[in-house]
Amino acid sequence: MTAKIIPVLKITDALLTSSTLTEPNTDVGDGAAWLVGTTYALGDKVSKNHVNYESLQASNTGNDPEAVGSLFWVAQLATNRWAVFDGSIQDQSSRETSATWVITPSVTTNAVSLFNLGPATDLTIVVTDPTDGEVYNRTFPLVDNSGVIDAYTYFFSPIITVSNICITDIPPYANAAISITVNAPGGTASVGQISLGYFEVIGDTLDEVPISINDFTRLNEDQFGRTTPVIRGYSRTATPAIAVDTFRVTYLERRLADQRGIPTVWAFDTKDRDNELVYLGFYNSYNFLYQYAGKTFLDIDIRSLV
């Protein structure tokens, strides 16, 4: 049961080869592309460089939405096509029936992770190398049957789908195109974040992994004690214990320190399946219990993005 660290590859225009999601898509809330000669009214929405903006003033002409400290525009969410790369898990990209992104990383990549998946039937990943052709084509079912424990739950339990998934058997081709397709026939395919990177094994996950959430929901109470919840996002947390080779401690200490404050994918195997626990986020702290024997214990406190 291995513990893995996967630094996140930043996706740029040059790396996103294509997508079935158009940009801008005003049908799902994107603003039309900003035009320097157009006059915008208060509240009008535009998009520029994959970000949506709202006009703060009337008669708004020639004011660049990306200007630092702008009094004319306020940045909002990423456009629908690029929301999966904006660093916010709860904001989803979506498209009816299916959604595809094709990424050519131009660096060696062997892991693909998706977070905050909406209800979907399956995920298909295809890797195509310009020289060797198609070198990988796998479809992963996203229906979670772990809640089915008897005949009654088989027939009457609600259908639950996987929210987060990490695939770590991608062939490490530097120049291959990676096609990622989420299928939701008859529904809407939606994804919060897509992350690519090259995984490295830290060590072996021990049997106990405390997991929880930090809930940012606010409970408003009036003078009579009546409570009105304001539902907000939450971060997932985990504090795994990991056994690492003692001779690698100084290397891993430096490796982890380099990832401080940087969104990173953390994947942990369990006895049930590989990469069952996967997080996109930060660590708050880590601690090595250094030993002169062959193994050293690493405790790390991980908090996901919201």
- pLDDT at residue 225 in the model: 87
Q: 201-304 maps to which CATH number?
A: 2.40.30
The domain locations on the chain are 9-19+87-200, 26-78, 201-304
Structure tokens at 148: 């089915």
Name the helix (H) or strand (E) containing 252. Answer: helix 249-258
CA distance 193 to 113: 8
Task: Please check whether residue 198 is in contact with residue 6, taking contact to mean a CB–CB distance below 8 angstroms.
Answer: yes
Predicted model pTM: 0.90
Structure tokens at 106: 């131009």
- pLDDT at residue 35 in the model: 97
CA distance 138 to 135: 10
**Domains 26-78 and 201-304 alike in fold:** no
What is the rounded radius of gyration, in angstroms, for the C-alpha atoms of the chain? 22
Q: Which residues pair with 60 in a beta bridge?
A: 40
CA distance 94 to 119: 11
**Pick from 283, 247, 276, 240: which is nearest to 262 by CA?**
283
CA distance 56 to 165: 39
pLDDT (tens place) for every residue of the chain, 306 residues total: 899 999 999 999 999 999 999 999 999 999 999 999 999 999 999 999 999 999 999 999 999 999 999 999 999 999 999 999 999 999 999 999 999 999 999 899 999 999 999 999 999 999 999 999 999 999 999 988 777 787 877 777 788 889 999 999 999 998 999 999 999 999 999 999 999 999 999 999 988 889 999 999 999 998 888 999 999 999 999 999 999 999 999 999 999 999 999 999 999 998 888 899 999 999 999 999 988 789 999 999 999 999
CA distance 198 to 168: 9
Q: 9-19+87-200 maps to which CATH number?
A: 2.60.120
- pLDDT at residue 272 in the model: 83
Spelled out in words, what is the top-level CATH class assigned to the domain 26-78? mainly beta
CA distances from 91 to 88, 108, 233, 246, 250 (A): 6, 28, 10, 40, 38
C-alpha 26, offset from chain centre? 24
- pLDDT at residue 56 in the model: 97
Structure tokens at 117: 């998946």
- pLDDT at residue 146 in the model: 78
